[in-house]
Structure 1
């Protein structure tokens, strides 16, 4: 039997990992869906074609939103896991870095979709999310995993 003891202040960790991150995923999806309609890109097509983008700025904006959303969905699961795992040993630090990740991902989406910069280069506004994600990974691997492995 494995017993996991959660710190008293683990609620903030849960709030970020299982609250804020899923809410941001919902927001991403809502933005992408609204722009899909405006761009007139029917399902099941994931992106507007190059021709559609040349004809419509809305199609290009939809593509940027779709890519930002896809990138978010590619990174959110492990970030949630790293936040929950790192929070077992470092709850305040994990919650803080996880919250920073959420803020940076919000800036990433905003910059990608609404900055008006060509080729989605506005996403660099929040591009530092990789550092926050890496920090959570590091806390997990070096802080928690070593405690779980006993020889």
Structure 2
């Protein structure tokens, strides 16, 4: 049997990884769903066609929201895991970097969907999420992983 002792400040880590990140996913889904209706893109189609985008500006905006949401889903589960693991040794740092990740992902979504820049280029205002995600990965692998392997 292995006992894992959680640090005193681990509640903040849980708050980010299992609270803020899923809430942001819920927000992504609501924005994408509301734009789907405005874009008139029926299920099961994931994206509006080029023709639909030419006829309806909301279709292009829906495509940007759909892509922002998909990118969030591609990255959120590993970020949640990295935050939880890194928080075992560095709870304040992991919660802080995880919070930055949420902030940058929010900016990424906002820029992608609402900036009005062509081809979703407004997303670049939040692209720093990659740095936060990389930092959490590094803390997980090099900071905590080394300690876990010595058990």
| Short-chain TM bin | over 0.9
1:109-129 per-position Cα deviation (integer Å, ceiling 9, x unaligned): 000000000000000010010
Structure 2 CA distance for aligned equivalents of residues 66 and 35 of structure 1: 9
Q: Structure 1 stretches of 5 or more lacking a match?
A: none
User: Does 2:64 correspond to 1:58?
Assistant: no
Residue 119 of structure 1: aligned partner: 119
Structure 2 CA distance for aligned equivalents of residues 2 and 32 of structure 1: 43
Moved over 6 A (4+): none
Residue 133 of structure 2: aligned partner: 133
Structure 2 CA distance for aligned equivalents of residues 29 and 68 of structure 1: 10
Structure 2 CA distance for aligned equivalents of residues 126 and 113 of structure 1: 12
Q: TM-score, normalised by structure 1?
A: 0.99
SS in 2 for 1:8: coil
Q: CA deviation at 1:2?
A: 1.4
Residue 21 of structure 1: aligned partner: 21
Structure 1 CA distance for aligned equivalents of residues 103 and 127 of structure 2: 11
Q: How many residues align?
A: 151
Q: Structure 2 stretches of 5 or more lacking a match?
A: none
The two structures, once aligned, show a CA RMSD in angstroms of 0.7
